[in-house]
Amino acid sequence: MAATPDSDVDPLYRDILRRNPGQEEFHQAVREVLDTLGPVLARRPEFAEAALVERIAEPERQLIFRVPWTDDAGRVHIARGFRVEFNSALGPYKGGLRFHPSVDLGTVKFLGFEQIFKNALTGMAIGGGKGGSDFDPKGRSDAEVMRFCQSFMTELYRHLGEHTDVPAGDIGVGGREIGYLFGQYRRITNRHEAGVLTGKGTGWGGSQARTEATGYGCVLFTKEMLRMRGRDLEGMRVAVSGSGNVAVYAAQKAQQLGATVVTVSDSGGYVVDDKGIDVDLLKQVKEVERGRVADYAERRGGEARHVPGGRVWEVPCDVALPCATQNELTADDARTLVANGVQAVAEGANMPTTPEGVAVFQEAGVAFGPGKAANAGGVATSALEMQQNASRDAWSFARTEERLTAVMRSIHDACHSTAERYGRPGDYVAGANIAGFERVAEAMLAQGVI
């Protein structure tokens, strides 16, 4: 069934629901994109005639596999591994691996679908994919994590390659896990194919600034949105959710640019630190000690207070950066933020704001940066890592950050100008969806029905 302008968007969505039952996050991601494509299909009927929307919404390949591993006591466990290779029209599949108990096929498909457009927005030659496992590395020893990663890669390696599929990290997959995965890939293939994984250590093929890139990029995108409104991040009060990699480095970059970041959070609650989060202490607690934000508050003394449970979005702020997980910021949270005077919201996580929450921000005139644009800095720097691997080169932190800054400005400008071109000025959601879709669709149209 080829989509036709406007009238077939709803039937197309119903068909996607029928073909992908129970995958609510994937449904949400597809609906959010479809809702902005009517004007594109009206202006570009060749996209509808070639059924490009239907083809983009169907992964090119979906892999599900068993991952057996043994714990330190010798007990055997069975996890499930996933890799969804969604679209390769622009380049090799590119997207992270997530190790978390919540991971299932629907989660991976939602993330992979978002990744198609995010990667297209970078302007680099990378397609979209995503993967992971329902394995939980939390509380596991290094030896257990190593054995799991080796088992996971023993199946996945046959589907990877620097010209085929290039995974990276995501929730639960950091430098330790990437190291074990790369070691097993190298062992099995007998090739030091550095470009097959990104997020590697800087001593063995990784890129400077990759660790910081997603959080930095989110703040840089926010800075550009504010600039378009004649404002600046300096002096603003910023609320950040989460306390993982993205949140930590979003906080660091925001404070480098003169803002005051007053919150971080985890599943146990949130911290309010009115004088500004001590990023060095937060890194020590979260990255070295693998502790909780409550530990940060205790170590900070009277400067910070820990609020068990609750909603981090209760804290008044000028800028909100949701950097934890999907659907963490609801319509009620959005209304609270608007009432407290929030001026800009940028998504550091993937789809952290519910559709109803997005609508609240847009109706209130808040500058809203969707994740596929605002958090594209991580994958952009992964592509820069691939460039360095291909040329056997290594760039300085300053050079890489300069390239990241240019990429985020380019993404912002593409979203802004595309929204204006389609009569939706200031609508970064529509701008990001349409700009990413047009680039992928044009490549697919040129390459035929495959």
Give the pairing type, strands 319-322 and 237-241.
parallel
Amino acid 310 reads: G
- Name the residue among 280, 249, 245, 243 with its Cα closest to residue 263: 243
Look at the chain and count its residues.
Answer: 450
Determine whether 138 is an active site residue: no
3-class secondary structure per residue, 56-74: HCCCCEEEEEEEEEECCCC
Alpha-carbon distance of 212 to 255, in angstroms, equals 14
Residue 145 phi/psi, 5° resolution? -60, -40
Q: Which residues contact 417 (CB under 8 A, 6 or more apart)?
A: 431
Q: How far apart are CA 5 and CA 9, in angstroms?
A: 7
Task: Estimate the crossing angle of helix 9-19 against helix 24-34, to 10 degrees.
Answer: 160
Separation CA 203–CA 211 (nearest Å)? 14
What is the residue-wise DSSP string for 164-204?
Answer: TEEEEE-TT--HHHHHHHHHHHHHHHT---GGGSSS--GGG
DSSP class of residue 82 equals E
Distances (CA, A) of 273 to 17, 222, 276, 314, 429: 44, 21, 5, 14, 31
What is the enclosing helix (H) or strand (E) of 212? helix 210-228
Encode 398-437 in three state secondary structure. HHHHHHHHHHHHHHHHHHHHHHHHCCCCCCHHHHHHHHHH
- Coil, strand or helix at 92: coil
SS3 assignment, position 130: strand
Three-class DSSP category at 361:
helix
Catalytic residue among 94, 109, 118, 130: 130
Reduced to 3 states (helix: H, G, I; strand: E, B; else coil), residue 80 is strand
SS3 337: helix
Residues 161, 151: Cα–Cα separation, whole Å = 18
Which residues have a catalytic role annotated?
130
